[in-house]
Structure 1
Amino acid sequence: MLSSVSYSVDLDLTDVETFRSHVRVRFGSAAAETFLELKGARSVSLSVNGVATATSYDGLRVDLTGLSTTEVNEVEVVATLPYTTDGDGMHTFIDPADGARYVAAYLGMDNAAKVFACFDQNDLKATFDVSVTADPADTVLANGALVSREGGRWVFATTPPIPPALVVVAAGDWHSVRWSAVFDSGASLDFGWHARRSLAAELDRDAAELRRTTEDCFAHYAEIFEEPYPFDSYDQVFVPGLNWGAQEMPGCVTYRDELLPRGAITDTQRAIRGVIIAHEMSHMWFGDSMTMTWWEDTWLQESFADYMGYRVAEAGAGFSDLLVEVEIGRKPWGYRADARSSTHPVAPLPTDVPDVDTAATIFDGISYAKGAACLAQLAFWLGDDEFMAGVNRHLTRFRFANATLADFVESLAATSSRDVRGWVDAWLRRPGFDTVVVRREADVPVLVREGERPHAFTVAAYDSALRLVGTERVELGDSPVALPHYAGLVVMPNAGGETFAALRLDHHSWQALSDGLSGLKDPLVRAVLWTSAYLQVRSRDLSADDFLTLVETHLPAETRAEIIEGVLEETRSVIIPQRVPAERAAGAVARVASAASAGLESARGDTQLTMAWAPTLAATCADPDLLRGWLAEEQIGADIPLLPTTRWDAVARLASLGDADARFISAQRDRDVTSEGYLGALRALAARPSVSAKDAAWDAMGTRDINNRRFGALAAGMWIPEQAHLLRPYVDAYIREAPALATRGQAFAQEVGRAFPQVALDRDQLDTLRDALAGGVPTILRRSWQDHLDDRE
């Protein structure tokens, strides 16, 4: 119906209660009537082609009538809208460290209509002229380069065609690091990194690395993509309260400011942040210039960005061995999602995604982690040259346009001699994952596929001392593959992590590899084995006790921080709440603490390994004197600082043990007046093992308009595995009251789902959850609850 859409958006952010949104929309129309989307406006005025018009507005849509079907229409909407505190819309935040106010538009999905009247549809791309009035002392950032500034009024350059959901504005007392760079191609571009004023020291600490990572990733994309960078500048800003890890807004990427941690930053944090920088930069081409047509193709941009993030952060920015992090920290998310009843194809059919709330539920481990693993397998199967030729053809064909799965397949098929369409049907249109099985026939290992997908991967063979004997590439389809030259040897399929599949090793191989796990030289093989153990616990082929024995036996000797952190995260957040009965939770936590203590001793002053172990020991140990000693000395061992996040882990643990009262927590809060300190104190108060503390936390979680970070902090303190008996009435209250809390919007509904009780549930509690799911539960929360039920069943 609509064509040639363009916007002039003028925002006034100077009022602290509401903001003014003034929009002029120009477009061609094939019909005399349509509507603009505008959510929750408190006042609206409208003119159509220069004529003031009575407004028909229902809180969601502004009706447009009397449109010209032969000439360009100009519609003007002036609206007053509320700020939000849940990360959906024009989010406002007061920094407790210095009282500074920050305002930023967090859009995506269908939230653009919370900021300005628009045709909020991916394939109605438009140019945007954005101007902002803010406090004259503030800095304002937006998609386009700054054209002019006079006092508090900022005017930005016209964008290329982008969807309304990718508009960004961020205003506040930003501390900024800016520079210009000239690349080998001769192109010059202005860059900037920005953060809250209270994080100035942290931004300055990391500025050189952030600049190097940005430039190196940018240069690498210039080498592998034929299309030039599509926008006029590149800002990156650490913002407060963002619900996503980051958002790929064209020319101005937003990151949650937890990615700029106070104190020291660990090597694992640096590497993951580097991956996220590369991920968001890939979106400038794959997502922002070429955009999915509708939400069933979420995977088309997110899977690709996930894949490119790891690839480019390593090949371009020099972060090494990132496949270890993929295997230990990323793929398990995909496997969990794909094993549930809510699983879906990487590329669902349009009928599977009927509305935007459903679309919100597929920004999940399948669209990201599994989809990225599928693309890695595709590149390995096709060969990288053919894969990248297809990608470049696709980006050129759909520059500043929209595309679907069929378009992507056509681009790949045009550059490859292999059956890309058959591969896509097997891998992207079907849910679930295969299992690669190792059998023995007269001592000869034989690989068998349980499933229906073609696989290409590396097999490694070891002798009885787990010395590597050989490796080879194998393609596994319908027919078994015998490996007679590896007769009698220990074999490990998918040793390079090339495919997405569960493993079922023969008894000889599993026994040898699990017994000698910590002695294997290749960290990638160790990571693949740990993930295989996770999956066996989920399928109940390996007990939680046996898994904890692996943790106690092998993890303290681990030399890679990302493996330590990944295994401990899985153990604490998945295996103990889901596979350990409530009456045994304390014992399981104590075993984790024992492993952490042994690991910390084994680290012997290695800063990175110490900082990998310390958060878990802080969160699990039952020795108040140890924790109070850390807090008093503000360090762990000799010359290794106690990071702020670990400090609050220790305070929360003391509180959960009944060894930190409100006065002690308040004193710790007075020593840390940052946002992190405020949230840490809330979490610690909620962790105390008393009915009064739990009542106070639960009441606060139900407060009208509680912000997203505060809600999450209270939930983190609320659910302590060893307190399952005390928490029974609050589990019931959560199941009873959460559906009403989840009606605030998509982002807050997801936050409510993440607040699911992280304690063991008995049969009666699971029955209560099933009964609730039989009633009226909002779409996003329903998906979360069904997943939690599946995990426990």
Structure 2
Amino acid sequence: MSLTLDEARARAAVISDVSYAVDLDLTDPSADRFGCRTTVRFRASAPDTFLELTAATDLEVTLDGAPVDPAYDGRRLHLTGLDGAHELTVQARLPFVTDGEGLHRTVDPADGETYLGAYLGLDVAQRLFACFDQNDLKAPVTISVAADPSWTVLANGRAVSESGGHWEFAPTPPIPVALVCVVAGPWRSVRWEHAGLPFGWHARASLATELARDADELRAVTEACFDHYAEIFEEPYPFDSFDQVLVPGLNWGAQEQPGCVIYRDEMLPVGRVPEDLRLLRASVVAHEMAHMWFGDLVTMTWWEDSWLQESFADYLGYRVAEEAGGYVGALLGHEAGRKPAAYDADERRSTHPVAAHPEDVPDVAAAATIFDSISYAKGNSVLRQLVTWLGDETFLRGVNTYLTRHRFANATLADFVAALDEASDRDVRAWVEVWLRQSGFDTIRVERDGDVPVLHRDGVRPHRFRVTALDGTSTYVDLADDPVPLPQLAGLAVVPNSHGETFARIVLDEQSWDAVATGLSGIEDDLTRSVLWTMLFDQVQTRDLAPQDFLALVERHLPAERSPSLVSTIVTRTLGRVLPLRVPHESVAEAHALIAAACATPTDDPDLAQAFAGGLVATQSDPALLRGSLGSLTPALRWRAVRRLAEVGAADVELIEAERRRAPGLAADLGAAAALAARPTPAAKAEAWAVASDPAVGNRMFTAVLGGLWSAQQADLIAPYVDRYLREAPSWSERGAGFAQVVGQARPTLLLTDAQRALLHEQLAGELPTVLRRQWSDWADDLG
């Protein structure tokens, strides 16, 4: 019963002046349910409406001080007899969850401490309190919480009272209910003041050492990004505090709750922090902070404009992390890690414009499917092209008009275009029609007129980008209908879009291709190499490059790669995309051996060594070498090595349990579960399946167990479970859209047989939950 566009429009037309007071009773975190009392003040211009409240028990409702008994179907409270201003009070008990959608409960096995976090989002606010669960009924929210007096409790507003296990928080400005936040537990905190506001970073008690280790860096990047946004945005930071909490069990990488951002706490690892994670973490900090303006201050009206929030935050996240935070190389994470996924997404049947029409998103369940690589990575790339095309000053002038005009309100694509159009003398509306309203992407081809490279465009969009010759010479080019010759680069191999300024496939001429094939790792510029690796990934996906030829390029160039981020990205995408989609299971062992050999590269650079170690422990088949490496690995890589030992039959239950006891905690429990599932025995697979298929399994445990269970080198052993996954996953996905996303992402990581593909298509022909259908449809398209 997901809210439809028509229902949202009808309700927004008759409901106004909404505010909430939400009182949560979290004093018994070991119970099945928590108490919630919500007071909703609103004005109605029609007699009937409804609020959302999911899975409530012990329901008591009063309207304007009088008890009422509204119809309740487990999801909606239906009200009648309305006229004018009203005060509705809803008292209920709601379930704690372990799937990341609602008030999520985690018990940390490191110390037995309990942590609670309201992880909201699409159709999820109603799992915390009674509300009008739609974006364009923004409202002030006042939170109060009763909990263990020894805990720390945080919410969107600044705490105005803390006494005897009771916390009161200041009312927020108008915010969407999907972004309400409450987190509670014995957090360890680093607090300070900056720009006249209280700031804080918070993490589980068992991560106190890691928080102290990274505190200076986390504070520095927070302040640098905050000060940069204060400089480029005319609207001041719109909230009264800024807390950032590293939480367990979050389905997303992070969420932009106003004044209280939450991040998955894998971003605070034990041991040395890999370079690619440091760059990603800084980019995500900048991304979520950008949302304080794009999404929190100004919010999309309906979900078709999710790009107005996500594309902007993604673009600014990488840009500001590098420009303001000093994280040189942050953009590599986008160009090599995320942009390839956007090209893949834009060629599937499920593709959609960056800016869809409202009617293309008929309900919130459909909206969950467009928080994807198009709304994030393609939208980011398109905005980067817009800035390149308009100029930074013009772009920011339009952005500031948009933010000021719609502060604490809702907006649409038309509102953003109007602001840009006022700021620029260029034809912004025509640009929007081809770039934002049309799906797909253009191709930029290099041809030769004698020795002169000539650029051609197959498509309809104007492009401005850099062209770099392999001798390091570069020039900017505007490419539209007419070919562009480059006489200044005569005789040279060239790479168009060499810094990723536009979103387009690149096809090299024979001379340039030959030079890249032999000299890729010798190219000095990291971004140019990342763009070329993206080209190679694309060619494997489109079958223009055979997987064995791609692996030969990995064998040749990965050992000489100088960027730890690129090493990690190349290995991750090769193992996660190329092998499962293009390499038959009987050839996987050979591919693993090739990758392991490429990663066995000696280096004095500790970041590079760690990146190579990640590839090595995932692919090495020699138990002695794996055991010998354990002492030199970070805890995360050590668990990956133990899992690989189990996968090749060299780690039994006793070894895995002894490893778990070395440093007990969430990571150890998950690492052990994955390793146990990886063992190549029928009993191990049956035990793993029992854990994953338990209706109460937590989201992290589910992912860990299935991640360990699937192994292309155990294709015959796991074949029955591929069939069971395809048959049973639809029922698992009924827990909610977020868990359905987790289920779809945990699909088998091997090339399916003809019979397995037939079963996948059979399931797609039937009834499936919306989010899982999108995941599986994309999987089928990727398999070809």
Shorter chain as normaliser: what TM range?
A: over 0.9
After superposition, residues 8-19 of structure 1 pair within 5 angstroms as: 8-15=21-28, 16=30, 17-19=32-34
In 1, the alpha carbon distance for the partners of 2:535 and 2:347 equals 14
Matched residue SS, 1:31:
coil
Matched residue SS, 1:379:
helix
Match for residue 776 of structure 2 among 770, 785, 792: 785
2:738: which partner in 1? 747
1:244: which partner in 2? 252
1:339: which partner in 2? 347
Letter of the 1:623 counterpart = D
Q: Quick check: 222-231 or 51-60, which moved more?
A: 51-60
Letter of the 2:451 counterpart = D
Per-residue CA deviation, residues 67-117 of structure 1 (Å, 9 max, x unaligned), is 232xx2101100111101000001111000000011111111110100100
1:638: which partner in 2? none
Match for residue 106 of structure 2 among 76, 89, 93: 93
Contact 1:724 1:760 survives alignment (8 Å)? no
In 2, the alpha carbon distance for the partners of 1:68 and 1:763 equals 61
Contact 1:290 1:398 survives alignment (8 Å)? yes
In 1, the alpha carbon distance for the partners of 2:184 and 2:330 equals 35
> What is the alpha-carbon root mean square deviation over aligned residues?
1.0
2:142: which partner in 1? 129
Contact 1:44 1:55 survives alignment (8 Å)? no
**TM-score normalised according to structure 2 size:** 0.97
After superposition, residues 179-578 of structure 1 pair within 5 angstroms as: 179-182=192-195, 188-462=196-470, 467-468=471-472, 470-578=473-581
Matched residue SS, 1:348:
coil
Q: Any unmatched runs of 5+ in structure 1?
A: 183-187, 636-641
After superposition, residues 25-40 of structure 1 pair within 5 angstroms as: 25-40=40-55
Aligned residues, how many? 769
Per-residue CA deviation, residues 471-515 of structure 1 (Å, 9 max, x unaligned), is 211111111111223222211111121011111100111111221
Letter of the 2:512 counterpart = S
Contact 1:456 1:499 survives alignment (8 Å)? yes
In 2, the alpha carbon distance for the partners of 1:289 and 1:524 equals 33
Letter of the 2:771 counterpart = I
Asked whether 1:44 is paired with 2:59, we answer: yes
Matched residue SS, 2:424:
coil
Match for residue 689 of structure 1 among 660, 663, 680: 680
Per-residue CA deviation, residues 501-530 of structure 1 (Å, 9 max, x unaligned), is 111100111111221011111111111111
After superposition, residues 608-623 of structure 1 pair within 5 angstroms as: 608-623=607-622
Letter of the 1:239 counterpart = V
In 1, the alpha carbon distance for the partners of 2:482 and 2:299 equals 39
In 2, the alpha carbon distance for the partners of 1:442 and 1:320 equals 39
Match for residue 173 of structure 1 among 186, 198, 208: 186
Letter of the 1:511 counterpart = D
Matched residue SS, 1:431:
coil
Matched residue SS, 2:316:
helix
In 1, the alpha carbon distance for the partners of 2:532 and 2:20 equals 53
Per-residue CA deviation, residues 594-613 of structure 1 (Å, 9 max, x unaligned), is 1111x2x2x1x321001101
Letter of the 2:669 counterpart = Y
Letter of the 1:243 counterpart = N
Matched residue SS, 1:102:
strand
Q: CA deviation at 1:240?
A: 0.6
Letter of the 2:489 counterpart = Y
Contact 1:323 1:497 survives alignment (8 Å)? no
Match for residue 714 of structure 1 among 705, 714, 720: 705
Q: CA deviation at 1:630?
A: 2.3
Letter of the 1:51 counterpart = A
Q: CA deviation at 1:14?
A: 1.2
Contact 2:258 2:292 survives alignment (8 Å)? yes
After superposition, residues 727-766 of structure 1 pair within 5 angstroms as: 727-766=718-757
Per-residue CA deviation, residues 125-177 of structure 1 (Å, 9 max, x unaligned), is 11111100001111100000010011110000010000111110000000001
Letter of the 2:59 counterpart = V
Q: CA deviation at 1:43?
A: 2.0
Sequence identity of aligned pairs in percent? 56
Asked whether 1:66 is paired with 2:81, we answer: yes
2:10: which partner in 1? none
Q: CA deviation at 1:652?
A: 0.3
**TM-score normalised according to structure 1 size:** 0.96
Matched residue SS, 2:608:
helix
1:145: which partner in 2? 158
In 2, the alpha carbon distance for the partners of 1:318 and 1:690 equals 49
Asked whether 1:675 is paired with 2:688, we answer: no
Contact 2:154 2:182 survives alignment (8 Å)? yes
Asked whether 1:108 is paired with 2:108, we answer: no
Matched residue SS, 1:83:
strand
Matched residue SS, 1:388:
helix
Contact 2:568 2:614 survives alignment (8 Å)? no
In 1, the alpha carbon distance for the partners of 2:588 and 2:462 equals 41
Contact 1:48 1:67 survives alignment (8 Å)? no
1:154: which partner in 2? 167
In 2, the alpha carbon distance for the partners of 1:486 and 1:628 equals 52
In 2, the alpha carbon distance for the partners of 1:351 and 1:570 equals 35
In 1, the alpha carbon distance for the partners of 2:762 and 2:123 equals 31
Matched residue SS, 2:306:
helix
Asked whether 1:772 is paired with 2:760, we answer: no
1:185: which partner in 2? none
